[in-house]
Structures are given as structure tokens and as C-alpha cells.
Amino acid sequence: MTNLFAITTAALLSVAASPVIAGETRPAPVPTTEAPQAAAPGARVANSKTKYCVIETITGSRIPVKTCATRGEWLERGFDPLAKN
């Protein structure tokens, strides 16, 4: 019975400590475009319709969440997908 109690206590402590150990990480931006990559010389590469996808790994989940939005939409949310960390 004490062995079961020790295992249960160790499991609970490791689960409780995992968010503290993991810390908060910023997701890495993944730029994607809807148009082909062939651009004419002198043309702007990014436009207002360019979408940037961010893949977030949520603690406790095995399924990453992919969120795509334009740079303006990301800036409204308080996140710059082009900022270097």
C-alpha cells in the first residue's frame, strides 16, 4: 500500500512541476503563401494577403495547433510573426 502511495505522489508531483519546468515558449512562425513563389524582378515579395502560420504545441496535448493569419491580424493579437526571438 505504501508503494502505491509513493508512486501516486511521485506522479502527481511530476505532473504539477511540468508546466514550471517547461516554461512558456513562443511558437515559431511558418510563412506560407497562397500564390506561387515565382516573382518578377523588383516585385514585392510580401503583400497584405500573405499569411503566416504558427504551430503551437500545447502542454498536455500531443496534437499541435496550426493557426494562419495575415501579419496585420497577428499584430492585432499582439504577436509579430516576423520578429526574431
Going from the first residue of the chain to its last (85 residues), give the mean pLDDT of each consecutive group of 10, the final group possibly shorter: 75 64 64 56 64 91 93 92 80
Task: For the chain, give every domain's residue range.
Answer: 24-38+45-85
Determine how many CB atoms are found less than 10 A away from the CB of residue 30: 13
Question: What confidence score (pLDDT) does residue 3 get?
Answer: 78
Query: In 1-85, where does DSSP find H-type helix?
Result: 2-22, 71-76
Question: What confidence score (pLDDT) does residue 34 get?
Answer: 56
- Sign of the CA dihedral running 63, 18, 85, 80: positive
Residue written as cell 523588383?
Answer: 42
Among 55, 8, 51, which residue's Cα sits nearest to residue 27?
Answer: 55
Residues 6+ apart with CB under 8 A from 31: 50, 51, 52, 53, 81
